[in-house]
Protein backbone atom coordinates (compact mmCIF):
# COMPACT_ATOMS: atom_id res chain seq x y z
CA UNK A 1 0.00 0.00 0.00
CA UNK A 2 1.16 3.50 -0.68
CA UNK A 3 -0.07 6.92 0.32
CA UNK A 4 -1.63 7.32 -3.12
CA UNK A 5 -3.90 4.29 -2.48
CA UNK A 6 -7.12 5.80 -1.15
CA UNK A 7 -8.61 2.49 0.06
CA UNK A 8 -7.40 2.69 3.70
CA UNK A 9 -8.99 6.14 4.02
CA UNK A 10 -12.20 5.00 2.31
CA UNK A 11 -12.37 1.94 4.59
CA UNK A 12 -11.79 4.14 7.65
CA UNK A 13 -14.49 6.57 6.52
CA UNK A 14 -16.95 3.66 6.03
CA UNK A 15 -16.09 2.34 9.51
CA UNK A 16 -16.58 5.81 10.97
CA UNK A 17 -20.00 6.16 9.30
CA UNK A 18 -21.28 2.61 9.75
CA UNK A 19 -19.85 1.60 13.12
CA UNK A 20 -18.80 4.67 15.10
CA UNK A 21 -21.70 6.90 14.03
CA UNK A 22 -24.13 4.20 12.89
CA UNK A 23 -23.96 2.33 16.19
CA UNK A 24 -23.49 5.59 18.12
CA UNK A 25 -20.27 4.25 19.67
CA UNK A 26 -19.11 7.86 19.94
CA UNK A 27 -22.02 10.27 20.29
CA UNK A 28 -19.63 13.17 19.61
CA UNK A 29 -18.47 11.97 16.18
CA UNK A 30 -21.58 12.75 14.16
CA UNK A 31 -21.34 16.53 14.57
CA UNK A 32 -17.69 16.89 13.51
CA UNK A 33 -18.25 14.58 10.54
CA UNK A 34 -21.35 16.53 9.48
CA UNK A 35 -19.40 19.79 9.73
CA UNK A 36 -16.49 18.23 7.77
CA UNK A 37 -14.06 18.99 10.60
CA UNK A 38 -12.31 15.60 10.49
CA UNK A 39 -8.93 15.46 8.80
CA UNK A 40 -7.99 12.05 7.36
CA UNK A 41 -4.27 11.42 6.83
CA UNK A 42 -2.88 8.34 5.13
CA UNK A 43 0.65 7.76 6.39
CA UNK A 44 3.09 5.93 4.16
CA UNK A 45 5.34 5.23 7.16
CA UNK A 46 6.96 1.81 7.23
CA UNK A 47 8.85 2.33 10.49
CA UNK A 48 7.71 3.66 13.87
CA UNK A 49 10.18 6.56 13.65
CA UNK A 50 8.54 7.74 10.42
CA UNK A 51 5.10 7.49 12.00
CA UNK A 52 6.31 9.47 15.00
CA UNK A 53 7.48 12.21 12.64
CA UNK A 54 4.07 12.25 10.90
CA UNK A 55 2.39 12.35 14.30
CA UNK A 56 4.46 15.38 15.31
CA UNK A 57 3.58 17.19 12.08
CA UNK A 58 -0.11 16.44 12.51
CA UNK A 59 -0.13 17.47 16.17
CA UNK A 60 1.37 20.83 15.16
CA UNK A 61 -1.10 21.21 12.31
CA UNK A 62 -4.07 20.47 14.58
CA UNK A 63 -2.72 22.80 17.26
CA UNK A 64 -2.41 25.64 14.74
CA UNK A 65 -5.61 25.06 12.74
CA UNK A 66 -8.87 26.72 13.76
CA UNK A 67 -11.20 24.12 15.29
CA UNK A 68 -13.94 25.25 12.90
CA UNK A 69 -11.78 23.92 10.06
CA UNK A 70 -10.14 20.88 11.67
CA UNK A 71 -11.40 19.68 15.02
CA UNK A 72 -9.90 16.19 14.97
CA UNK A 73 -7.47 14.12 12.89
CA UNK A 74 -7.33 10.43 12.06
CA UNK A 75 -3.88 9.21 11.00
CA UNK A 76 -4.32 5.87 9.24
CA UNK A 77 -1.04 3.94 9.02
CA UNK A 78 -1.54 0.59 7.28
CA UNK A 79 2.13 -0.28 6.78
CA UNK A 80 3.49 0.13 10.29
CA UNK A 81 2.55 -1.17 13.74
CA UNK A 82 0.21 -3.80 12.36
CA UNK A 83 1.01 -5.97 15.39
CA UNK A 84 -1.17 -4.74 18.23
CA UNK A 85 1.46 -5.17 20.95
CA UNK A 86 3.96 -3.09 18.94
CA UNK A 87 1.22 -0.51 18.35
CA UNK A 88 0.34 -0.45 22.03
CA UNK A 89 4.01 0.11 22.94
CA UNK A 90 4.17 2.96 20.40
CA UNK A 91 1.40 4.80 22.27
CA UNK A 92 3.92 5.60 25.03
CA UNK A 93 6.08 7.34 22.42
CA UNK A 94 3.00 9.18 21.13
CA UNK A 95 2.14 10.42 24.61
CA UNK A 96 5.78 11.40 25.13
CA UNK A 97 5.67 13.42 21.92
CA UNK A 98 2.52 15.23 23.07
CA UNK A 99 4.36 16.07 26.29
CA UNK A 100 7.58 17.17 24.56
CA UNK A 101 5.58 19.48 22.26
CA UNK A 102 3.98 20.96 25.40
CA UNK A 103 0.53 19.91 24.22
CA UNK A 104 -0.60 18.07 27.35
CA UNK A 105 -4.04 19.38 28.23
CA UNK A 106 -4.37 20.72 24.66
CA UNK A 107 -4.32 17.61 22.45
CA UNK A 108 -4.53 13.90 23.13
CA UNK A 109 -4.00 10.72 21.13
CA UNK A 110 -6.65 8.00 21.14
CA UNK A 111 -6.05 4.61 19.61
CA UNK A 112 -7.81 2.27 17.20
CA UNK A 113 -6.43 -0.93 15.72
CA UNK A 114 -7.86 -3.95 13.85
CA UNK A 115 -6.61 -6.22 16.67
CA UNK A 116 -7.31 -3.90 19.60
CA UNK A 117 -7.41 -5.76 22.89
CA UNK A 118 -8.15 -4.32 26.31
CA UNK A 119 -5.88 -5.50 29.11
CA UNK A 120 -7.19 -8.66 30.73
CA UNK A 121 -9.55 -9.50 27.87
CA UNK A 122 -9.50 -12.38 25.41
CA UNK A 123 -8.61 -11.45 21.80
CA UNK A 124 -12.13 -12.05 20.46
CA UNK A 125 -13.97 -10.46 23.40
CA UNK A 126 -16.66 -8.35 21.72
CA UNK A 127 -15.79 -5.38 24.00
CA UNK A 128 -12.49 -5.03 22.12
CA UNK A 129 -14.41 -4.15 18.97
CA UNK A 130 -15.30 -0.74 20.40
CA UNK A 131 -11.73 0.24 19.49
CA UNK A 132 -11.26 -1.84 16.34
CA UNK A 133 -10.78 0.04 13.09
CA UNK A 134 -9.98 -1.42 9.66
CA UNK A 135 -6.35 -0.21 9.90
CA UNK A 136 -4.10 0.97 12.74
CA UNK A 137 -5.19 4.53 13.42
CA UNK A 138 -4.09 7.34 15.72
CA UNK A 139 -6.92 9.71 16.60
CA UNK A 140 -5.85 13.23 17.55
CA UNK A 141 -8.36 15.10 19.67
CA UNK A 142 -8.61 18.61 21.06
CA UNK A 143 -9.00 18.41 24.83
CA UNK A 144 -11.34 21.43 24.94
CA UNK A 145 -13.61 19.86 22.29
CA UNK A 146 -13.73 16.63 24.26
CA UNK A 147 -14.54 18.53 27.47
CA UNK A 148 -17.36 20.48 25.77
CA UNK A 149 -18.82 17.32 24.28
CA UNK A 150 -18.68 15.46 27.59
CA UNK A 151 -20.28 18.40 29.43
CA UNK A 152 -23.10 18.52 26.87
CA UNK A 153 -23.76 14.79 26.93
CA UNK A 154 -25.90 13.45 29.76
CA UNK A 155 -24.20 10.60 31.62
CA UNK A 156 -21.10 10.43 29.44
CA UNK A 157 -19.60 7.93 31.90
CA UNK A 158 -22.15 5.37 30.66
CA UNK A 159 -20.89 5.47 27.05
CA UNK A 160 -18.38 2.64 27.49
CA UNK A 161 -20.91 0.34 29.16
CA UNK A 162 -23.56 1.19 26.57
CA UNK A 163 -21.10 0.42 23.75
CA UNK A 164 -20.26 -2.97 25.23
CA UNK A 165 -24.00 -3.75 25.58
CA UNK A 166 -24.58 -2.69 21.95
CA UNK A 167 -21.78 -4.89 20.66
CA UNK A 168 -22.83 -7.81 22.86
CA UNK A 169 -26.35 -7.66 21.37
CA UNK A 170 -24.88 -7.32 17.88
CA UNK A 171 -22.37 -10.15 18.25
CA UNK A 172 -19.44 -10.92 15.99
CA UNK A 173 -21.55 -11.76 12.94
CA UNK A 174 -23.57 -8.56 13.31
CA UNK A 175 -20.33 -6.56 13.62
CA UNK A 176 -18.99 -8.14 10.42
CA UNK A 177 -22.21 -7.29 8.57
CA UNK A 178 -21.93 -3.63 9.63
CA UNK A 179 -18.25 -3.08 8.90
CA UNK A 180 -18.11 -5.33 5.81
CA UNK A 181 -21.61 -5.14 4.33
CA UNK A 182 -20.48 -6.59 0.98
CA UNK A 183 -18.82 -9.65 2.40
C-alpha span between 58 and 70 (Å, rounded): 11
Domain boundaries, the chain: 7-179
**Edge-to-edge strands, sheet with 107-112:** 38-42, 72-76, 137-142, 107-112
Mean per-residue pLDDT for 50-74?
98
Dihedral sign for Cα 181, 40, 67, 62, please. positive
Residues 99-141 pLDDT 10s: 999 999 999 999 999 999 999 999 999 999 999 999 999 999 9
Sequence-separated (6 or more) residues with CB below 8 Å from residue 6: 42
For residue 182, what pLDDT is reported? 64
Amino acid sequence: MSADNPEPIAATQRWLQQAVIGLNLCPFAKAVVAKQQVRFVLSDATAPEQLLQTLGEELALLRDAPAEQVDTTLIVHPQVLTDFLDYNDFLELADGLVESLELEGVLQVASFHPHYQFAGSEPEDIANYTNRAPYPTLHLLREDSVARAVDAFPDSDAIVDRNIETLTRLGHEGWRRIVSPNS
